[in-house]
Amino acid sequence: MNEVYLIMAPILQSEYIEPEQYVKNPHLDTMEEDILYHFNLSTKNHNLPAMFGDIKFVCVGGSANRMRAFAQFIHQELELPGNVEDIRDICEGTDRYSMYKVGPVLSISHGMGVPSISIMLHELIKLLYHAHCRDVMLFRIGTSGGIGLAPGTVVITDKAVDSFFRPQFEQVVLGKVIIRSTELDAGMAQELLQCSAELPHFPTIVGKTMCTHDFYEGQGRLDGALCSFSTEEKLEYLRKAYETGIRNIEMESTVFAAMCRVCNLKAAVICVTLLNRLEGDQISTPHDVLLEYQQRPQHLVAHFIKKRLGLIHEDVHQD
């Protein structure tokens, strides 16, 4: 039987975390050069502090196109000089991930699923460390399947849970299972909820998010190439999930929450629901409606960032 460890991360109390506290790896100090292979960046070939030292907000999402669109949107929202069409993919030497820097905001794609986002996060967290970035906040903006919610609802995650509804992420290391807590920053979630009240265009709630390792059978779908359960069994599982407070299902939140927590980085997960899983499995909503849904987490995070940068005053209500 595998040994099980519970690694407790320190509670995030201070706003001012030193970059040295992001990484938890003594071997890094002994390395002459660190090659961030999947970003096509390295500590020898790039001046990472000059390129990234002013980053305060990192937004990650599955698709490269969506994260480029987000970078262009943020550029407009922050009223930065220059043309949005000139924003370049910093990782263009590799097609694994795309990365765009817009003022203090970094926008990065992470692909689909835990292994893909986990590789990206290792390199991102080392990047923030090498670049001496301070007081950074991370946001995952994505899509999800809702449970008992109208499609288009935005869910701000309070806890990411696994397929057994446990607030933990299991990583196998040297043949042993390491368990890490998946609690997210409560202050950021509340601040985002407050931001949503100032943007009255879409419903937003706070709830638990279930992270699975598959889109089809793993999320209880009846429409995959394989399905080993009945409609009743599917609905029983989803209803149980709902009873424990789970409001949406996606595929990256547990490892995102766990890695940010261990690395002392404040983080939030904001996903729009594309469908109500109690009513179906196929995503049949028209493309233009889906595109508008996917902009909702972007609008919410943009509002948060603008408030943090003092570009919106607390007492101004926007319609």
Which residues of this protein are in contact with ligand URA, per CB under 6 A?
143-145, 215, 219, 249-251, 274
Token pair in block for residue 73: 């949107």
What are the distances in angstroms from CA 186 to CA 35, 189, 207?
A: 34, 5, 11
Mark 144-173 with x for binding to ligand R2B (rule: CB under 6 A) and - for no binding.
x-----------------------------
Question: What distance in Å separates the CA atoms of residue 225 and residue 204, rounded to the nearest whole number?
Answer: 33
Comparing every residue's Cβ against ligand URA, the nearest one is 145
Kindly state whether residue 112 participates in binding ligand R2B, applying the rule CB under 6 A.
yes
Residue of 157, 151, 36, 152 whose CA lies nearest to 99: 36
Least distance (Å) from ligand R2B to the CB of residue 250? 3
Bridge partners, residue 276, by sequence: 146
Of the candidates 40, 43, 109, 143, which one interacts with ligand R2B according to CB under 6 A? Answer: 143
Residues 31-90 that bind ligand R2B (CB under 6 A): 62
* Closer residue to ligand R2B in complex, CB, 160/265: 160
**Does residue 42 contact residue 91 with C-beta atoms inside 8 Å?**
no
Token pair in block for residue 282: 């196929």
Q: Which amino acid would we find at residue 309?
A: L
Q: Residue 219: name its binding partner from ligand R2B, ligand URA, none (Cβ under 5 to 8 Å by kind).
A: ligand URA
Residues 212-231 that bind ligand R2B (CB under 6 A): 215
Least distance (Å) from ligand R2B to the CB of residue 212? 9
Q: Applying CB under 6 A, what is the total number of residues that bind ligand R2B?
A: 9
Least distance (Å) from ligand R2B to the CB of residue 98? 15
CA atoms within 13 A on the CB side of 185: 26
Contacting range for ligand R2B; rule: CB under 6 A; set: 71-79, 163-171, 234-242, 250-258: 250-258
Question: What distance in Å separates the CA atoms of residue 311 and residue 105, rounded to the nearest whole number?
Answer: 14
Question: What distance in Å separates the CA atoms of residue 192 and residue 202, rounded to the nearest whole number?
Answer: 13
* Closer residue to ligand R2B in complex, CB, 183/252: 252
Contacting range for ligand R2B; rule: CB under 6 A; set: 22-30, 39-47, 138-146, 298-306: 138-146
Least distance (Å) from ligand R2B to the CB of residue 148? 18
For the chain, how long is the longest CA-to-CA vector? 58
CB neighbourhood size of 47 (10 A): 11
Q: Please provide residue 192's backbone torsions phi and psi, each rounded to the nearest 5 degrees.
A: -65, -40
Binding site for ligand R2B (CB under 6 A): 62, 112, 142-144, 215, 250-252
